[in-house]
Amino acid sequence: MCGIVGYVGSEAALPVLMAGLTSLTYRGYDSAGVAVLDGSTLQVVKCAGKVADLAARLADSPLSGSTGIGHTRWATHGEPSDVNAHPHIDTRGDFAVVHNGIFENSSDLRERLRAQGCLIRSQTDTELFAHLVSLHYRGDFEAAVKAALAEVKGSFALVVASRFHPSTLIAAKLDTPPLVIGIGAGEMFVSSDISSLMRFTKRVVILEDGEMAVLTPKNVLVDLFRAEPVVGRRRPANERVLSVDWPADIAERGGYPHFMLKEIEEQPRAIRDTLRDRLLEDGRVAIEDFTLAPATVRRARRVIFLSCGTAYHAGLVGQYLFEPILNLPVQVEIASEFRYRQPVIGLDDLVVAISQSGETADTVSAVRRVQERGATVVAITNVIGSTLSRVADHVLFTRAGPEIAVASTKAFTAQLVAVHLLLRYLAQYRPHQHEKLLYQLGLGLRQLDGVVEQVLQRTATIQAFAAQLASHEDVYFIGRNLDEPIAREGSLKLKEISYIHSEAYPAGELKHGTLALLSPGTAVIALATQSDIYEKMVSNIQEVLARKAWVTALVPEDESELEAMGVGTLRVPRVNDLLAPVPNVVTLQLLAYHCGVARGCEIDQPRNLAKSVTVE
């Protein structure tokens, strides 16, 4: 996903832009660039490659000036190249623009602008916006940008600079890509995400859908350029100044070799923070600002989990928890498929949309589809001010803190905790016979951070196993019941981080075809932590052993039967079966991480992937 940064103030803009771009690199990108205004001179330096490559180009001729914009690009239109890197300028170089998202009508615009004599240099849709502003400019910068905004369609966030207005930046946002204004003393900042502003200011305004902001060193004016918001509800900007208490180095690695390892080890705190002040002594839950009415809960006739990727696996865990306790049918849907079906949705549907970033386009679009049909939507998300948090009817924030590594870890375990909190909230307003179980789960949730600490202490054992697994090119994960979603998540982590081909299967499903792929030495990781189907898992493991596969079982620390069969084991602390997904997944996260390190892979920004998929 592209990254945007902008500065207008009295200090040199370039160091601010480069620091901002560096903190945005986690989002995945293939090129970078800056434009700095020195009076009425617009200077642009950009290149394919990394921010370090851009810095090398700037080392010989650092740009002076106190207004500027910067960008890290994740290619959507046109291959990664110097000419396709942002910022883009108009024919005469009077305006520069950086952009995240897509202009869906770029083909028509390109033809029209060419016919009007514009010199179009790149393959990008972004460049067209600079030409539009230039064509509309008659001395009023804001009016020219507003007129250009009226001509583009799509989902975007952008910032424009002009050599005619060297102390002004104009930012605008429509639909999902986020844009955040940082409010300083005599200086203003703009960025794609809050964490990159923390080194400069703690006061931010999240730009809402359909809004544009005019930034000068002493002021920021927010206005509408779109009468009807595409997403979310709008509130006056001055009511939206947030003071964010994240430490300035929040986006730093803090001495860890990779963000992913840092975030794996932050999970005890993420669990504690997500539970904090929400799980009451008497077992009830109290979720701040959570407005889901008891009547809506009682009226619900179905729960639908909607999400993508790792968040989808959290929904699968939710299904196993919700159905027996709430006695409600539960569906779990992959948003990119669901949104193109003709689902039968009604007023009695309670939709739970899970998204770490809150910006995944497929999830947000699927949410809008179900809202159009009358469903009530609860969001579980990690990012304050994210699109999903504003589109949904009710929001339960995880408190995992910014997750920088592309591979989701602490956000996932925080999602699992949030699913448990939501379960308890719903159970407070629906008849059930599970008070005792919920009470036990409450005790278990409070101890979960300590359980994860125990898993983290077993890193050396996991690392030793990873050293063996790293030489394999095919790995199969199998499990049943609540082990099955975690088998999927373990497989996804391994693929993302070590590029080893992996598949996850319901253990009972192997004999229906995939068993044909197992040959002597094939690596199989069998999750066997669910007591009520443990014997079934033992049978499945025997099926696999009969094909002479190399099987390792993920089992509770007190398990002995499989070990007696000569099966290698990875041991996890024994907890209530309904909480086992948490220690199990932390074990598999560490396994994937150490496999990736052993194979020399790029851990935090795996090839071809982005931290948040805001394109469809």
Residue 84 vs 357, nearer CB to ligand AGP: 357
* Integer-rounded Cα radius of gyration of the chain: 25
Dihedral angle computed from the Cα positions of residues 126, 59, 3 and 109, in that order, rounded to the nearest 10 degrees: 0
Among 2, 47, 308, 601, which one carries the catalytic annotation? 2
Residue 124 vs 605, nearer CB to ligand AGP: 605
Cβ-count burial of 269 within 10 angstroms (0-12 exposed, 13-18 middle, 19+ buried)? middle
Q: How far is the CB of 309 from ligand AGP (least distance, A)?
A: 2
Place of tokens 């299967």: 505
Residue 491's CB is within 10 A of a number of other CB atoms, namely 24
Place of tokens 């966030």: 157
Q: Which residue in the set 356, 365, 398, 502 belongs to the binding site for ligand AGP (CB under 6 A)?
A: 356
- Is 308 among the residues that bind ligand AGP (CB under 6 A)? yes
Residue 274 vs 310, nearer CB to ligand AGP: 310
Per-residue DSSP letter, 87:
P
- Is 28 among the residues that bind ligand AGP (CB under 6 A)? no
- What strands, in cross-sheet order, belong to the sheet with 501-506? 501-506, 474-479, 523-527, 550-556, 568-572
Residue 212 vs 406, nearer CB to ligand AGP: 406
Q: Which residue in the set 22, 168, 360, 614 belongs to the binding site for ligand AGP (CB under 6 A)?
A: 360
Q: How far is CA 33 from the centre of its chain?
A: 24
Q: Which residue in the set 28, 68, 182, 309 belongs to the binding site for ligand AGP (CB under 6 A)?
A: 309
Tell me which residue of 538, 492, 493, 548 sits closest to 515, measured CA to CA.
548
Q: How far is CA 471 from the centre of its chain?
A: 30
CB 335 within 8 A of CB 274: no
Q: How far is the CB of 310 from ligand AGP (least distance, A)?
A: 3
CA atoms of 194 and 135, how far apart (whole Å): 33
Q: How far is the CB of 258 from ligand AGP (least distance, A)?
A: 14
CB 389 within 8 A of CB 395: yes
Residue 505 vs 593, nearer CB to ligand AGP: 593
Identify residue 45 by its one-letter amino acid code: V
Helix axes of 410-427 and 267-275: crossing angle, nearest 10 degrees: 20
Tell me which residue of 83, 136, 82, 87 sits closest to 109, measured CA to CA.
136
Q: Which residue in the set 67, 84, 106, 363 belongs to the binding site for ligand AGP (CB under 6 A)?
A: 363
CB 205 within 8 A of CB 220: yes
Report 150-179 residues binding ligand AGP (CB under 6 A): none
Give the x-and-dash track for 484-503 against ligand AGP (CB under 6 A). Answer: ------------x-------
Report 556-615 residues binding ligand AGP (CB under 6 A): 612-613
Structure tokens at 11: 């200090």
Segment lying near ligand AGP (by CB under 6 A), choices 12-20, 35-43, 131-139, 351-359? 351-359
**Residue 410 is a catalytic residue:** no
CA atoms of 551 and 90, how far apart (whole Å): 61
CA atoms of 363 and 385, how far apart (whole Å): 16
Segment lying near ligand AGP (by CB under 6 A), choices 92-100, 306-314, 509-517, 569-577? 306-314
- Is 193 among the residues that bind ligand AGP (CB under 6 A)? no
Residues that contact ligand AGP, how many (by CB under 6 A): 15
Question: In this structure, are strands 3-8 and 188-191 parallel, antiparallel, or unpaired?
Answer: antiparallel
**Residue 611 is a catalytic residue:** yes
Residue 123's CB is within 10 A of a number of other CB atoms, namely 15
Residue 408 vs 481, nearer CB to ligand AGP: 408
Q: Which residue in the set 357, 587, 605, 614 belongs to the binding site for ligand AGP (CB under 6 A)?
A: 357
Residue 92 vs 501, nearer CB to ligand AGP: 501
Torsions phi, psi of 91, nearest 5? -55, -45
Q: Which residue is nearest to ligand AGP (CB)?
A: 309
Q: How far is the CB of 70 from ligand AGP (least distance, A)?
A: 23
Q: How far is the CB of 370 from ligand AGP (least distance, A)?
A: 16
Among 46, 262, 495, 611, which one carries the catalytic annotation? 611
Q: How far is the CB of 92 from ligand AGP (least distance, A)?
A: 40
Residue 70 vs 309, nearer CB to ligand AGP: 309
Report 387-426 residues binding ligand AGP (CB under 6 A): 406-408
Q: Which residue in the set 67, 106, 310, 498 belongs to the binding site for ligand AGP (CB under 6 A)?
A: 310
Torsions phi, psi of 554, nearest 5? -90, 110
Question: In this structure, are strands 154-162 and 67-73 parallel, antiparallel, or unpaired?
Answer: unpaired
Residue 67 vs 307, nearer CB to ligand AGP: 307
CA atoms of 22 and 506, how far apart (whole Å): 42
Q: How far is the CB of 131 from ligand AGP (least distance, A)?
A: 33
Q: What are the catalytic residues?
A: 2, 611
Residues lying near ligand AGP in the complex (CB under 6 A): 308-311, 355-357, 360, 363, 406-408, 496, 612-613
